[in-house]
Amino acid sequence: MASRDSTPSDYQLNWRKLQQVGLNAYEARSYLVLMGHPRFKALELAARAHVPRQKIYEVLDSLVEKGFAQVIQEKTKLFSAVDPSLAIPGYLARRTKTLQSELLEHSRLATGLIEDLRPAYEEGQGGRGTLDFLNLVNDPTQTAIHYRRMLTTVNHDYQEFSRPPFAVDPLDEQLVKDAAGRGIQCRLLIEAGPIDEEHRDRLKDYAQCGIQVRFLDRLPLKLALFDARCGLVALLDPVLTRPSWTAVIFEHEGFAEAMSGLFETYWQRADLENSARSSSFSTPVAGV
């Protein structure tokens, strides 16, 4: 049942890999058998691949549709394997396109669903909005959503303590550059560590955009402030052995004022020459 040049162990390994790529067990087995001979009739293939006779035409039709098999003689329906160097990349390219289309459709539906569900949520929460006073968030993806939402709506100034681990990389976030382009004062205080060539180039790009960056050996927490009105503070969990952050999303002028004072203290403490030393750092610099 294995191809001419494969061992039983090779066959089993390739059979599993084909299933990981996207074929089902019958399809993977049939394709491996097809590769071992120039052509097969459907029922001959069923016997050699141990596929039920009533299933073999369905399996072959699927292999043809996915690009792993071809019909080489219509009259008697002989089937042949397609070269794996063509079949596998072609199948993955089509599958990628399909998945992208599905994700776009899901995204479109999700946007409408959010608008449909938000009134019911706010009514159930007594009219509270998503950034009302304090909101604890443990999921990095949700933290990133809050961060980008505030960064999009900032009007005057944006300040950030940046240290690992990260949910959003401000040096890889177009919204930071967009904010600077709108005239927003942007200041990033980054916990020092080695940076790679890519991030070094981004620092130069940010400097050209008017974004101020300083480095400090140690920062006490992760912090992002917007207009001295709202923002987030991320605290490292002291119990878990694997670093994990809990973000406190807030919209409270008193708390924001206190956090702004903390930022100014550390900003002034940061050595102004650290920006010139950035070429000696290599850990990717990132944000909240």
Local confidence pLDDT in tens for the 288 residues of the chain: 444 455 677 888 999 999 999 999 999 999 999 998 888 999 999 999 999 999 999 999 999 999 999 998 767 788 999 999 999 999 999 989 888 888 888 887 887 787 777 777 667 766 555 545 777 887 788 888 888 888 889 999 999 998 776 666 666 678 888 888 999 999 989 887 777 777 778 888 888 888 888 888 888 888 999 998 889 988 777 655 555 678 888 888 888 899 999 999 999 888 655 544 544 443 334 444
**231: left (phi > 0), else alpha (psi -120 to 50), else beta?**
left
Q: For Cα atoms 71, 72, 76, give the angle at the middle one, nearest 5 degrees.
A: 80
Domain boundaries, the chain: 8-82, 87-129, 133-280
What pLDDT is attached to residue 106? 86
CATH class of 8-82: mainly alpha
What pLDDT is attached to residue 24? 94
Nearest partner of 49 among 188, 148, 40, judged by Cα: 40
Q: 130 to each of 114, 119, 146, 249, how far by Cα in Å?
A: 12, 11, 9, 9
The domains spanning 8-82 and 133-280 adopt the same CATH topology: no
* Domain range 133-280, CATH architecture: 2-Layer Sandwich (3.30)
What pLDDT is attached to residue 140? 80
Q: 224 to each of 142, 143, 165, 250, 268, how far by Cα in Å?
A: 15, 11, 15, 10, 17
What pLDDT is attached to residue 285? 41
What pLDDT is attached to residue 15? 92
Decide: 243 and 218 in contact? Cβ < 8 Å. no
The residue to which tokens 């599958």 are assigned: 95
What pLDDT is attached to residue 46? 92
What pLDDT is attached to residue 167? 61
